[in-house]
Structure 1
């Protein structure tokens, strides 16, 4: 009886070991390949460089203000001759003077506060400062002005919060007075210093005088330049940079390479590619350095 008990115990152990082995063999196993597939990096989404039209337009949510005195500058280098006196009240469209064979006209009604002396002028030299008797709102147009022709006309529309609109701007002009180097006065709100050093370049949308607006109200302003009908464009989300130059991640086989590009104007959704890419190139839909590892 005592000899049989150890044998039964050994038999039970062998049986249990066999069943465990059978259960292990029947259970699904996790192979290295399945682990790799579950953690594999998804390929980055791409967009194609294509040709299309674009209308450059910066927009801004800003405040209503009493329109500051603004300046009219030379459209090009040439001899300036004034036909208007300081203190005169002028109407929109009046000829104020000439630069070479080009006329300088008043964009709105207003009072001439300063007049430059007749002289051989460089481009963008301030000729007249005008006080407009109405309200306005300012827009940061640094990127727009850096990517369009300086003599390109601009238009705009604005919407005052909780008011009627939208309404066309009476005119789009410089924000503040560009002070001539010979002037001894410091003009508040000037976008250009006496040494010609520019910072942020802003423009103001002058409100028509029949629009009811008060300083301090909120407004949204959209400025519009001449449409570009045929250009290489990309979504702005695919480009790192907005002013003059930037970078994209161009697909090169199964990988991406960072490419420097020269940038043109933007409408806030798309941006013009002037150099660095060709039509049909595929680039990452996410700009470089925004999502680590997406452009590897």
Structure 2
């Protein structure tokens, strides 16, 4: 959610009369970043295993091999590259000095999945966080833990066919979204086309400064709040962190105990926009 910009020469000096405006206080607490999506069940598409660090990569598994969850497929800079689920290796990059996040293997998982656009969350928390996920198929069993959360954004083309469904890379490789797959355990009864809800969560961030999301205009990195300043409210720019959909982390611009309007700037009745 974003609000329209104030019609003022300075984004941090707009003031409004306090009147009967309700307020909330900046407080410290824990927050578990998450993204939730209503989506559809599909056949799992190819996913990539990427380089965890920059370094010299050497493959120890071959294209066409059926591998099991936890198997080592290669080594980079003395770190093992393992697969999170069973599957068939569709492609392998040649031994090379590769950059971090470079795709090393494409794996085909023989099960169902659901895709989630996690662009906003990953922009805030970074791509190195280990995510967990649960899904619920409408009118079916669940909720159930995802077998794995895998990235669709860097899949190498298979040697015999083009199968990059769900990849976020465009024709020239320009990435506009970060799509993640929740792979379903194979014992889950699911069919392509069924409706599902998927929730992905990152590790909990403790002792953070937080506000309700309803008090903040903006989401991706920066925003504004109406901070109480005596008998009036001043629009203040803030740096934003992760959100759990209810609360959002304030990284800069406010301190613990500050009071702000419970409604985001320009969303209150009578505010300029």
| TM-score of the two chains, using structure 1 as the length reference | 0.80
Kept in 2: contact 1:64–1:137 (CA 8 A): yes
Q: Provide Cα deviations, 1:47-82, integer angstroms capped at 9, x if missing partner.
A: 111100011111111111111111111112121111
Q: Tell me if 1:62 matches 2:62.
A: no
* Partner residue, 1:109: 86
Q: Provide Cα deviations, 1:18-67, integer angstroms capped at 9, x if missing partner.
A: xxxxxxxxxxxxxxxxxxxxxx9842111111100011111111111111
Distance in 2, Cα, partners of 1:253 & 1:99: 58
- Consecutive unaligned residues of structure 2, counting only runs of 5 or more, are 1-16
* Partner residue, 2:5: none
* Partner residue, 2:97: 120
User: Against the structure 1 CA distance between its residues 292 and 205, is the aligned structure 2 distance closer, same or farther, given a 3 Å change threshold?
Assistant: same
* Partner residue, 2:74: 97
| Among 121, 124, 127, the residue aligned to 1:144 | 121
How large is the RMSD of aligned CA atoms in angstroms?
Answer: 2.2
* Partner residue, 2:4: none
| Among 68, 82, 86, the residue aligned to 2:63 | 86
* Partner residue, 1:290: 267
Kept in 2: contact 1:179–1:192 (CA 8 A): no
* Partner residue, 1:235: 212
Distance in 2, Cα, partners of 1:102 & 1:149: 21
Which has the larger strand fraction?
A: 2
Q: Secondary structure at the match of 2:128?
A: coil
Q: Provide Cα deviations, 1:130-165, integer angstroms capped at 9, x if missing partner.
A: 000000011111121112242221111111010111
Deviation at 1:194, TM superposition (A): 6.3
| TM-score of the two chains, using structure 2 as the length reference | 0.87
Q: How many residues align?
A: 254
Q: Provide Cα deviations, 1:75-110, integer angstroms capped at 9, x if missing partner.
A: 121211111111110000001112212211101000
- Consecutive unaligned residues of structure 1, counting only runs of 5 or more, are 1-39
Kept in 2: contact 1:179–1:190 (CA 8 A): no
User: Against the structure 1 CA distance between its residues 45 and 295, is the aligned structure 2 distance closer, same or farther, given a 3 Å change threshold?
Assistant: farther
* Partner residue, 2:150: 173
Kept in 2: contact 1:44–1:295 (CA 8 A): no
* Partner residue, 1:198: 175
- Bigger radius of gyration: 1
